[in-house]
Amino acid sequence: MEENTQLTLQFANISGKKVTADFTGGDVTSDIGVMAMRETANRIGIIEQLAQAIHDDRHQSYVKHEIIELLTQRVFQIACGYEDANDANDLRIDPGFKVSCDRLPSEADLASQPTITRFENSISTKDLY
């Protein structure tokens, strides 16, 4: 019986950079499944469709995180078992979550818990309908 000794997985590129899960060490995420979810969500386009239904009435000069980014971060956090927004502060620096939200680990952090909570509370009944 042949043993599989592959120590890397390739994912879709981000900002022209190769994305590889390397199991030999380095930056670590405890939620590698979030990158597989990213691949599936991008193929289906479900998050983009949901984001189009959400009205953004924030003052654009103060916006640091676009609606699509906030929604992607929140959907993936919930799917990985982080139901309440409190975990956003820890997950915002996680390399796996950053890549799943189309950010390189070296780029700016994802949204904080207060930002995620404001986002959740800003969605209207009309948006949900």
Task: Report the distance separating Cα 26 and Cα 16, nearest Å.
Answer: 21
What does the pLDDT look like over 91-112, one tens digit per residue? 999 988 998 888 988 899 999 9
- Rounded to two decimals, the pTM is 0.74
Q: Provide the residue-wise pLDDT of the chain in tens; the chain has 129 residues.
A: 555 556 777 888 888 888 877 766 665 666 777 888 888 898 999 999 999 999 888 888 888 899 999 999 999 999 989 988 889 999 999 988 998 888 988 899 999 999 999 999 998 898 888
Q: Tell me which residue has tokens 């390739």.
A: 10
Domain ranges of the chain: 8-23+30-128
Q: Output the six-digit token pair for 48.
A: 């983009």
What does the pLDDT look like over 76-90, one tens digit per residue? 999 989 988 889 999
